[in-house]
Amino acid sequence: MTGKIPFNIVGFDLDGTLLDSSFELAESLNHALSFGGRPEITGSVKHLVGMGARHMLEMALAQQGDVDRDEVRRLMPVLIDHYEANLGHNCPPFPGLIDALDQLAGTGTTLAVVTNKFENLAVKLLRNVGMLDRFATVIGGDTMGPGRGKPMADPIVEMMARCGGGSAVFVGDSIHDTSAATAAGIPSIAVSFGFLHQPVEELGATAIIDHYDDLIPTLQRIG
């Protein structure tokens, strides 16, 4: 039996936190590279993802030589079109996530998503993987307007307002997530299994978890 959760709201980042989207991002990246006559990336692309599709494409091209900005502009629509057409087909939840969400829902905790992915893509992805109804709100990188996504506090503050207020915590895998939570005045939990671009200990999170089995005990401890 899950004990009392000391937070009214638990917010989550999406890619690299809820879902391992690296598989389908790799497929879309390689589709674009192949279209451009470039060699495909072999193996994991986790080290390339987490900072946006353009950054992922630029880093992949940089591994093969100089980055041509005209080539990036030409290949980006190819990448995005493929990604959107296949959204959610190979994007599993991280181990233990579904059980943790079920436990939180069972305590009456309000769940939300705040991502820097465009809102329409985030909603479509969550719908396609059958998870959209679990969340009271989904806030994207464009929801609050230009320049007001994470690491700004704005989307976290909006999340709390949409969820009825009360105590909140945010779970993510990047410095943007922990910085946004700190700016909004709430604690954060970093996941060590996400799309990390620096050691997880350097993200400045209130706590770190290595598996979603640790989420409920960690919420109870830091709350």
Q: How confident is the model at residue 221 (pLDDT cuts 50, 70, 90)?
A: very high
Domain boundaries, the chain: 9-20+92-222, 22-85
Say yes or no: do domains 9-20+92-222 and 22-85 share a fold.
no
CATH of region 22-85: 1.10.150
Confidence band of 2 (pLDDT split at 50, 70, 90): low
- pLDDT value of residue 4: 86
Do 56 and 29 contact (CB within 8 A), yes or no? Answer: yes
Domain 9-20+92-222: give its CATH code.
3.40.50.1000
Is the pLDDT reported for residue 1 higher than 50?
no
d(CA 25, CA 31): 10
Instruction: Answer with the residue of higher pLDDT: 68 or 101.
Output: 101
Q: Which of 157, 117, 158, 114 is nearest to 135 (CA)?
A: 114
Residue type, position 203, single letter? L
Distance between CA atoms of residues 126 and 193, nearest Å: 20
Task: Name, in order, each residue with C-beta under 8 angstroms of 108's C-beta and a sequence gap of 6 or more.
Answer: none
Q: What is the pLDDT of residues 30-89, one digit of tens each?
A: 999 999 999 998 877 787 876 778 888 998 998 888 788 899 999 999 999 999 999 999
15: β partners? 19
Per-residue pLDDT tens over the stretch 175-201: 999 999 999 999 999 999 999 888 999
What would the pLDDT profile of 106-139 be if each residue is shown by its tens digit?
A: 999 999 999 999 999 999 999 999 999 999 999 9
- Over residues 79-104, the mean pLDDT reads 96
Annotated catalytic residue, options 13, 15, 20, 214: 13
The one-letter amino acid at 102: D
In this structure, the number of other CB atoms found within 10 A of the CB of residue 223 comes to 12
Has 13 been annotated as catalytic?
yes
Closest of 166, 98, 54 to residue 62, by C-alpha:
54
Task: Pick the closest to residue 41 from 54, 23, 19 (CA basis).
Answer: 23
Dihedral, CA of residue 121, residue 127, residue 130 and residue 133, to nearest 10 = 120
d(CA 21, CA 50): 10
Q: What is the pLDDT, as a whole number, of residue 197? A: 83
Could you tell me if 12 and 18 are in contact, meaning their C-beta atoms sit under 8 angstroms apart?
yes
Q: For the residues of 15-65, what is the DSSP string, one character each?
A: BTTTB-THHHHHHHHHHHHHHTTPPPPPS--TTT-SS-HHHHHHHHHHTTS
